[in-house]
Chain A
Amino acid sequence: MESEAKKTAVVEEKQYNLFKDAMKRLAANKLAMVGLIVVSLVILIAIIGPMITPYDFLSQDLNYRNKAPSAQHWFGTDDLGRDVFSRVIYGARTAVIVAISVTVLSYLIGIVLGSLAGYLGGKVDAFVVWLIDVFMSIPSLLLVIVVNVSVKPVLVNWMDAKFLETQNQFFRNTTWVDFAIVFGSLAFIKWPKAARIIRGQILSIKNKNYVVAAKALGVPTSKIIRRYIIPNSIGPFIVSISSTLGEAMVLESSFSFLGVGVKPPIPSWGNMISDGLRVWQVYPHILAAPALVLAIVTISFSFLGDGLNDALNPRQWK
């Protein structure tokens, strides 16, 4: 009798500690913890960046160009005598700003379209699914390039006109246009993935026996959503958000590598790699510093994503 009571107690405890369990599993996964630490570090550096950079990322020292890494310049200097270490740190800022904004934007679109499709079903669902399929079959790099080259002139012209009208210096700064376009165009290609996950979650949980039972018992909808739907769908949701963050970071770098998106002098790891490609035979540090940092960050994201997936998706356990 007593042991039975104990058993149910244990079971109940487990039910109520889904997150503690998940955290325990994540903490046991060493690679995932390394990933988590690196990712948190990058976000921290992005926030406090200006406080820890030894030099301004724009300040040039033309007497001190293309210098190899040394005690004063940890990652050396580039062709304009700018400190590469400071630029890499500012690059983290660019990467994190883009990653977070793009993830938020694409999930906003994804949640609206995905839940519409999941709840309404029928023709709406069929249309959204078709839209997702179509968007997923356009090579994303090219779609962003098209959005970039086509929308940017319009926005820049509008900014120019606004500046002439208001004389407000804010409208002279096209950096914000670059950022806005990067956010928008990346969200444009990332929303289908978000929508697909949300729709899938809603469809799979909506018809689960416990939800049907709760409905039959007259549990109010808000409570059903709070108690049953959100806890059961949060796992895959967190996993997909973490992977979207990582992907958005890589995409941002690939665009600035190709010369669309965030433009110099704003440092992005992508445009630093692209600059480094021109001089790598003589000054490999200019290429290697941002490339190694980006490699470490992307690997960390993939470790973290894997760990989260194992920790949060108990259905996949064997």
Chain B
Amino acid sequence: MGRYVLNRLLRWIPSVLFILLIVYALVFFGAGDPIKLIFLQAPGDVAYDPVRIEAIREASGLNRPFLVQFSDYVIHILKGDFGNSLVSGRSVNEMIKAAVPVTFSLGLSAIAIIAVIGTILGAIAALNQNRWIDNLIVGFAQFTWGIPVFVAGPLIIVFLVLVLKMDVPFGWGGLFSPKVIVPLIVMGLNPMAIIIRQARAGVLEVLSEDYIRTARSKGLPTKTLVFRHILRPVLTPVVSQTGLLVIGALNNSILIEKVFGLPGLGRLTENAITRSDYPIILAIVLIFSFVVMTSNLLVDISYPLLDPRAASKKKGED
């Protein structure tokens, strides 16, 4: 077990570094001159004065080779410093600190809701295979699976406000304010289908196992059967989808925050794109990739806990 965890960790580090390198290189070689970008926004025409530009470049160390600057950037990040915004000059750390709680609390609760409700719905569907409730759940999953959040969100708002004449509050009032309900529902709808399908297929597979027949013939009540014998093996494939859910939740948060006007990382990203504010974009990419890779790592580590067979299989592989 210890070796397995260590092995995963050792793979995780170069992956994060590699993403950092790609993104940094893209911005470094593509984005254009950061100094010019800064002064094009500033008053005066410093941007067109090559001598002063060179002086500033020299002073800020931006004329050093790529790899030197890159390692400098990595060291700064390891110290927890993402630099300053090109547009406002404010510290990126501050801006991100304000936005992270919105995105992460929304994303985490969406994932929790999806995982719990999705597993339950999937299990109900499988236990009632081919009855109307199964068809309803599977149909619902198939229907919501395709619709992206930036389409479902606006349509739901239009429906609630203009057709049902409901008063839908916008903006952010913390995770426990009623404002959060509609965005959470929209964020949950789309990826829910993945979990419903996984859980349904998983339960169906387990139901055909011999030990379930034994348990049934022993006369175990259905409740015990479901909780003791069915749910645990089904959780493994469901947990394996967590990485996908995390990516989905982060992608969706960018879109959903625009739809509902939430002040999270998504809105920060959108503003940064329109103003080409690279330090912010870089920081957000890093945070997102870090979260995804870490959750993948956690999933890998949790496999053996859920299903001891996985650990020995993985060990055999390495």
Contacts and interface: CB of A to CB of B under 8 A. Distances in A.
A207 interface: no
Contacts of A147: 26
B179 interface: no
Interface stretch (A65-73, A138-146, A162-170, A221-229): A138-146
Nearest to B37: A153
B148 A149 contact: no
B243 A258 contact: no
Nearest to A140: B251
Contacts of B146: 246, 295, 298-303
Nearest to B141: A302
Contacts of A214: none
Interface string B145-160: 1111011101101100
A43 interface: no
Contacts of A273: 150-151, 154
Nearest to A285: B158
B30 A280 contact: no
A150 B22 CA distance: 12
A276 B154 contact: yes
Given A139-B292, A280-B158, A295-B152, A153 B250 contact: no
Interface stretch (A6-14, A112-120, A249-257): A249-257
B27 A150 contact: yes
B292 A137 contact: yes
B151 A291 contact: yes
Contacts of A130: 11, 15
Interface string A257-301: 111100000000010011011001100100110011011001111
A306 interface: yes
B162 interface: yes
A258 B273 contact: yes
B191 to A, nearest CB: 13
Contacts, number: 144
Contacts of B243: 137
A94 to B, nearest CB: 16
B206 interface: no
Contacts of A276: 154
Contacts of A21: none
B154 A134 contact: no
Contacts of A274: 258
B30 A151 contact: yes
The bracket for how many chain B residues form the interface is 35 or more
A302 B11 CA distance: 34
Given A134-B15, A137-B243, A280-B158, A258 B147 contact: no
A1 interface: no
B84 interface: no
Contact of B18 (A134, A258, A306): A134
Interface stretch (B72-80, B213-221, B276-284): B276-284
B154 A142 contact: no
A295 B143 CA distance: 10
A308 to B, nearest CB: 14
A281 B161 contact: yes
A138 B21 CA distance: 13
B242 to A, nearest CB: 12
B31 interface: yes
B40 to A, nearest CB: 12
B236 interface: no
B23 interface: yes
Given A138-B289, A254-B148, A280-B154, A146 B259 contact: no
B216 to A, nearest CB: 20
B32 interface: yes
A154 B32 contact: yes
B16 to A, nearest CB: 9
Interface string B256-291: 001100000000011001101010011011001100
Given A134-B15, A138-B289, A302-B145, A291 B26 contact: no
Nearest to A292: B155
Contacts of A61: none
Interface string A120-144: 0000000000100110111111110
Contacts of B251: 139-142, 254
Nearest to A274: B258
Nearest to B148: A250
A260 B31 CA distance: 15
B296 interface: yes
16 contacts: A130-B11, A137-B15, A139-B292, A142-B254, A142-B284, A143-B285, A146-B27, A153-B30, A254-B150, A257-B258, A280-B154, A295-B146, A298-B146, A298-B147, A298-B151, A302-B146
Given A136-B247, A140-B251, A257-B150, 7 more contacts: A137-B296, A138-B19, A139-B285, A145-B269, A250-B148, A259-B273, A291-B155
Interface of B: 11, 15, 18-19, 23, 26-27, 29-32, 142-143, 145-148, 150-152, 154-155, 157-158, 161-162, 243, 247, 250-251, 254-255, 258-259, 269-270, 273-274, 276, 278, 281-282, 284-285, 288-289, 292-293, 296
**Which are the 5 A-B pairs with shortest beta-carbon distances?**
A150-B30, A302-B146, A298-B146, A150-B26, A299-B146
